[in-house]
Amino acid sequence: MSQMDNIFIQIRARLQQQGIRLWEEPYYSEGLGSIEAAMEQLATDYSIQLGIDVSHCRCVLAELQDNALRKLAARREFSETGLATFKVRRIDNRGGTTTMVDVKCDLNALGAALQLAIAQKLQLSNASHVKCISAGKIVAADATLSSQGLKNNQQLIVIVGQPGDNKNGTLYERINKIKTDVETVVDSQRQLVEMEDQDGNPVFLPPDENRALLIGMGFCEKARAAMHREDYDEALLLLLEADEKFATCNSKFLESVDNYALLNLDIVWCYLCLKNVSQLPDAERRLSICERSFRRSYGDNFARLYALKGKACPERALIMRLHLLQGVVLFHQNRRDEAYERLEIAAAALNELKVNDEHLVLLVEMGFDVCDARLALRSTSGDVERAVQFIQERQKKLNEARQDSKAEREVNRRYGHQAANDGNWVNPRSVCALTDMGFERQLVVEALRRTENDMSRAVDMLQNRPDELRNSLPVVPAADERQLRSLQKLGFDAKAARVALETTQNDIDLAIVFLLKAFESEEELRSTVDRMSRLIEEGLTGATGAATISDQPSTSSAASQQSQLFDSPRSRALIESVLHKAKAEMESYKAYNRFNADLTHSDQDYLDLPLVQEEQLLAEYRNLLEQ
């Protein structure tokens, strides 16, 4: 931030405090324009009052007057023509604001029209690559501007993903690819990602909410990876996409976890790193959300957190960043005394959070991850021996929690996707708790479905109305022998195929999904894809009288079996169905690998703030306050 920005903040605040309107007399006249004598006198007065060079005061006052006059002109135009004027600030990852232009658009037009107008103004070839951000939300292309809360004379920030921005393709393409990959991974039948708390315990939610939260958290993970690379434009767009997903979740749940608090903290951090203070009201709102969430999770003045983990806990880095950002926002509001207090609190915490670089290198040389090493040193006040013990004990605790929750996770995998289809979700933790009490699992599931996961009512039903529950259970038919033989011919294990058919009540499509979902490795899926592809190729060549492919000897038995597999369109459709579903699952593995490519393997990387940038910002704003 420049010294002129600092002067701008002080003079604007003084004008507001004194109720001075630079667009009215004695400072401006419709007939004469700006009245220089009055403006010069005001610059001289402010120079004395604020201790600022008079030439700087003069420049800032002139700019503020021009801004006010442009807003008045835009207001008149809007009243006469209905065209709204937007002050568009284009930002990029390194330089902050690169272009500032006025763009006009009807508020009844779709967001796509605004994108087009901005693209034309900035001489961009593809309007769809323009991402507009208004009050902390991405402007949707398919909704009107008025319905999204946009107003005349509003400031917008714009991020543009154009060819050449990055060796990995345009920003627009990367964001879309990340979104597709995250949704593919979350929607996979294999449940490749699951939610855990920080102690390794699974978190179970109804399917719709679970999906929205997992997608939002996936966007946050990719955003954090972008922040580590200092690609803040990409990170901001991903975080705002995550914000939309979190907005669909139950507010009570969001209030009980710190994920939403961290999301808001990261968004404001990106605003700051992109040198964008035009989103100041949104930044203040998000920091308030973060502070309230931290207070609920950690107690007033973080007393609960400090009592459990001590003042050296790694979560203190997040609290320090919150205080730093609050200080920055207060500075830009010209609340300088309050800003000073917040920055001093942040400075004290930052000093205590620093770790000895030699100790960090020593732990890394022992084979520990740098993230785990830094967090352990912070948690043990820099004691290397205790840090080693801290890492080992934490890993043991995580492993035990994951081992203890295996039964719950298995129940969730078994009933999760079924619940997504029929809407009757049962809480896996409740299922395991009631079966541990000796109740039959099928009756437990039925009781929880009927009582909408109310444990006490479910127990009452299990104890007092077990026959009613049993009579309402669906009759499980025996596996259809013809379908069982078909699945065996396709290479599936006979026992697994029978279980799949019985579980899905002989719905062969669902049985195929069940069988593919049971595979424990990507190699098994790839083998199935290869086998189905061979069968289709052999079936086609056999139908034209050609020989079978070379790796399958042409015996009379093999030829007979081949003929049976392709004896009807239904059989061919079955093979194609298996191939399609197996390929879809393969795609989910590929998406998962891409998703994980640039992520850390630490479950606590969100706490691992090296604090280098924080220290630089702290020094910058303390210096500005002293000037």
- According to the model, what pLDDT value does residue 152 have? 96
Q: Is 454 inside a domain boundary?
A: yes
Residue 467 and residue 434 share a domain = yes
Average pLDDT over residues 264-274: 93
Residue 583 and residue 537 share a domain = yes
Report whether pLDDT(617) > 70: yes
Share of the chain above pLDDT 70, in %: 91
- According to the model, what pLDDT value does residue 163 have? 52
State whether the Cα torsion 251-406-461-417 is positive or negative. Answer: positive
Residue 583 and residue 557 share a domain = yes
Q: How many structural domains compose the chain?
A: 3
Report whether pLDDT(95) > 70: no
Report whether pLDDT(464) > 60: yes
- According to the model, what pLDDT value does residue 572 have? 84
Six token digits for residue 453: 């996961």
Distance separating alpha carbons of residues 135 and 139, to the nearest angstrom = 9
Residue 500 and residue 427 share a domain = no
Residues 431-451 pLDDT 10s: 999 999 999 988 998 999 999
Distance separating alpha carbons of residues 146 and 481, to the nearest angstrom = 61
Q: Is 335 inside a domain boundary?
A: no
Looking from the CA of 148 toward its CB, the CA atoms found within 13 Å total 25
Residue 560 and residue 517 share a domain = yes
The last residue of one of the domains, among 472, 504, 525, is 472
Average pLDDT over residues 607-625: 92
Residues listed for the chain: 627
Q: Which residue has the tokens 């006979």?
A: 494
Distance separating alpha carbons of residues 83 and 363, to the nearest angstrom = 62
Residue 496 and residue 583 share a domain = yes
Q: Is 75 inside a domain boundary?
A: no
Average pLDDT over residues 517-533: 86
Distance separating alpha carbons of residues 444 and 462, to the nearest angstrom = 7
Q: Is 53 inside a domain boundary?
A: yes
The last residue of one of the domains, among 68, 84, 108, is 68
Domain that holds residue 30: 1-68
Q: Is 5 inside a domain boundary?
A: yes
Distance separating alpha carbons of residues 569 and 173, to the nearest angstrom = 40
Q: What is the DSSP letter of 144?
A: B
Residue 495 and residue 537 share a domain = yes
pTM for the model: 0.85
Q: What is the DSSP letter of 439?
A: -
Q: What is the DSSP letter of 110?
A: B
Q: Is 493 inside a domain boundary?
A: yes
Residue 491 and residue 460 share a domain = no
Interacting residues of 506 by C-beta distance below 8 A, sequence separation 6+? 477, 479, 480, 483
Six token digits for residue 619: 């020094």
What helix, strand, coil percent values describe the chain, rounded to 5? 65, 5, 25
Decide: residue 118, CB within 10 A, 0-12 exposed, 13-18 middle, 19+ buried. buried
Q: Is 441 inside a domain boundary?
A: yes
Q: pLDDT grade, residue 588 (50/70/90)?
A: confident
- According to the model, what pLDDT value does residue 276 have? 79
- According to the model, what pLDDT value does residue 598 have? 86
In contact, 136 and 242? CB cutoff 8 Å: no
Beta bridge partners of 92: 96
Q: pLDDT grade, residue 168 (50/70/90)?
A: very low
Q: In what order do the strands lie in the sheet with 130-134?
A: 96-106, 83-92, 154-160, 130-134, 137-138
Residues 310-359 pLDDT 10s: 877 888 999 999 999 999 999 999 999 999 999 999 999 999 999 999 99
Q: Which residue has the tokens 């009592």?
A: 307
The last residue of one of the domains, among 30, 46, 68, is 68
Residue 566 and residue 508 share a domain = yes
Residue 505 and residue 442 share a domain = no
Six token digits for residue 143: 């909704």
Residue 447 and residue 526 share a domain = no
Report whether pLDDT(300) > 60: yes
User: CATH number for the domain including 462?
Assistant: 1.10.8
Quickly count: other Cβ atoms within 10 Å of residue 396's Cβ.
10
Residue 591 and residue 497 share a domain = yes
Q: Is 49 inside a domain boundary?
A: yes
Give me the chain's average pLDDT, please: 87
Q: pLDDT grade, residue 420 (50/70/90)?
A: low
Distance separating alpha carbons of residues 97 and 279, to the nearest angstrom = 13
In order of 22, 71, 112, 134, 196, the CA distances from 333 in angstroms are 20, 21, 33, 20, 39
Average pLDDT over residues 519-534: 87
At 5, the amino acid letter reads: D
Average pLDDT over residues 95-107: 86
